[in-house]
C-alpha cells in the first residue's frame, strides 16, 4: 500500500468516525433535553462540569485512592497469580488438584464476594483491596498456566540434555514463552480489577472514584458523576492500549489473535 493510499484509508476512517461521534453526542443531548429530568447528564453538561470536577479535591483524592488500590491489588494478584499459574502449567498433579478451585473462583461473579469480604475486613480499604485481588487473580493464573503449558516439550528436553539447571529453564524458556499469555491475562485482570474496586466502593461506601459516582448520582449531580465514569473508561482503554503497544513493540512475532482472551 502506498503512502497516498494509506492516507486516503486513514481519512476514510476518520471522517465517518467523527460524524458518528458528533451524531451520538447530538442525539444524546436532544433526547435527554426533550424527555429526561433536568439533572440527567448531557454531553454539554458534562463538558461544563469538567473544569470544576478536575479541580475538586474529593475527585482528585478519590481518583488517586482508587487507582492506587487497583495498582496494589494488581501487583499482589500478579505475584500470586504468576506463581500459581506456573505451578499449574508445569505440574499435571497440581493442575488436576487445583483446577476445580481455579475454575470456581474464575466463574464466581466477583460482586458476590462483597458481603463476605466486608464481613471479614470491615467496611475499609482492606475490603476493597481484597476484592481487587480476587477479581484479578484468576484471569492471570489461568492465562499464565495456559502459557506455561504452551512451551514446546522439546525445548525443555534440549535444556535438560544440556544439563541446564531447572531455574534457568524456568527463566529462559518457560517465562518468555508464557509472556504473551501473561500480558493477555494482565489486560483482562486490569479491567476486572477496576470493576472490583468500583463495586467494592459502591458496597462499602469508602472514599474513592466509585463512591464519588455513587454520591454525586444520588444527589442528582449526574454531570459531575459522569466525569468520573469517563476517567474510569479512559483508564480502561489506556491500559488496553498500553498492553497492546507493549505486545507489538517487544513481542512483535505474536499476533494478537493468537493470544487467548
Partner 1 sequence: MKRAMNRWRDAAARFAPPVLSFIAGVVAWELVGRHTNAAFLVPLSETLDRLWELSQSGELWEQLASSLAIFVVGFVLALIVGAPGGMLLARVAVLRRALDVYITIAYATPLVALIPFILSLMGFGFAPKVLVVFLFAVFPVLYNTVEGARSLKPELVEVAHSFRSSEWALWREVMVPYTLPFTMTGVRQAIGRALVGMIAAEFFLSSTGLGQLIMSASQNFDTAGVLAAILVIMVLGLVLMRIGRAIELHFARWRV
Residue 212's alpha-carbon distances to 57, 191, 227, 232, 259, in angstroms, are: 11, 19, 10, 12, 36
| CB nearer to partner 1: pick between 51 and 115 | 115
70 binds partner 1 (CB under 8 A): no
**In terms of CB distance, is 41 or 186 closer to partner 1?**
41
Per CB under 8 A, 195 contacts partner 1: yes
SS3 assignment, position 190:
helix
Using rule CB under 8 A, residue 233 touches partner 1: yes
Site of grid cell 463512591 = 211
> Secondary structure of the chain: what % helix, strand, coil (to 5)?
85, 0, 15
Counting contacts by CB under 8 A, is residue 232 touching partner 1?
Answer: yes
Binding partner 1 by CB under 8 A: which of 93, 153, 154, 258? 93
Among 8, 21, 54, 160, binds partner 1 (CB under 8 A): 21
CB of 79 to partner 1, least distance (A): 22
Query: Binding partner 1 by CB under 8 A: which of 7, 8, 17, 51?
Result: 17
How many chain residues are in contact with partner 1, going by CB under 8 A? 58
Q: Determine the Cα–Cα distance for residues 65 and 71; give it in Å rounded to an integer.
A: 10
Q: DSSP per residue over 88-110, as a string?
A: HHH-HHHHHHHHHHHHHHHHS-G
Q: Report which DSSP code applies to 259.
A: S
Distance CA 150, CA 141 (A): 14
Among 27, 220, 245, 250, the residue binding partner 1 under the rule CB under 8 A is 220
Residue 157 C-alpha from the chain's centroid: 36
Closer to partner 1 by Cβ: residue 101 or 171: 101
Beta strand ranges found along 111-208 (DSSP E):
none
Interface of this chain with partner 1, residues 114 to 133, rule: CB under 8 A: 114-116, 118-120
Sign of CA dihedral 243, 244, 247, 249: negative
Residues that bind partner 1 (CB under 8 A): 12-13, 16-17, 19-21, 24, 36, 39-41, 93-94, 96-101, 103-104, 107-116, 118-120, 191, 194-195, 198-199, 202-203, 210, 213-214, 217-218, 220, 222, 225-226, 228-229, 232-233, 236-237, 240
Amino acid at each position: 500500500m502506498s503512502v497516498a493510499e494509506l492516507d486516503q484509508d486513514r481519512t476514510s476512517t476518520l471522517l465517518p468516525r467523527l460524524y458518528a461521534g458528533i451524531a451520538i453526542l447530538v442525539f444524546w443531548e436532544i433526547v435527554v433535553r426533550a424527555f429526561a429530568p433536568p439533572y440527567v447528564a448531557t454531553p454539554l453538561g458534562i463538558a461544563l462540569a469538567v473544569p470544576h470536577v478536575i479541580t475538586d479535591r474529593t475527585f482528585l483524592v478519590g481518583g488517586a485512592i482508587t487507582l492506587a488500590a487497583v495498582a496494589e491489588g494488581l501487583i499482589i494478584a500478579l505475584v500470586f497469580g504468576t506463581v500459581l499459574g506456573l505451578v499449574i502449567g508445569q505440574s499435571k498433579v497440581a493442575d488436576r488438584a487445583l483446577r476445580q478451585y481455579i475454575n470456581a473462583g474464575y466463574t464466581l461473579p466477583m460482586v458476590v464476594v462483597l458481603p463476605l469480604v466486608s464481613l471479614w475486613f470491615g467496611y475499609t480499604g482492606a475490603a476493597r483491596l481484597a476484592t481487587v485481588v480476587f477479581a484479578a487473580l484468576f484471569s492471570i493464573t489461568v492465562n499464565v498456566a495456559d502459557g506455561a503449558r504452551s512451551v514446546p516439550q522439546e525445548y525443555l528436553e534440549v535444556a535438560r540434555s544440556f544439563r541446564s539447571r531447572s531455574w534457568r529453564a524456568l527463566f529462559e524458556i518457560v517465562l518468555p514463552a508464557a509472556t504473551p499469555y501473561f500480558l493477555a491475562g494482565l489486560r483482562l485482570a486490569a479491567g476486572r480489577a477496576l470493576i472490583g474496586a468500583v463495586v467494592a466502593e459502591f458496597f462499602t461506601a469508602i472514599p474513592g472514584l466509585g463512591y464519588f459516582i455513587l454520591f454525586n448520582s444520588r444527589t442528582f449531580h449526574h454531570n459531575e458523576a459522569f466525569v468520573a465514569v469517563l476517567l474510569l473508561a479512559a483508564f480502561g482503554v489506556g491500559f488496553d492500549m498500553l498492553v497492546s503497544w507493549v505486545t507489538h513493540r517487544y513481542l512483535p512475532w505474536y499476533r494478537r489473535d493468537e493470544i487467548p482472551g
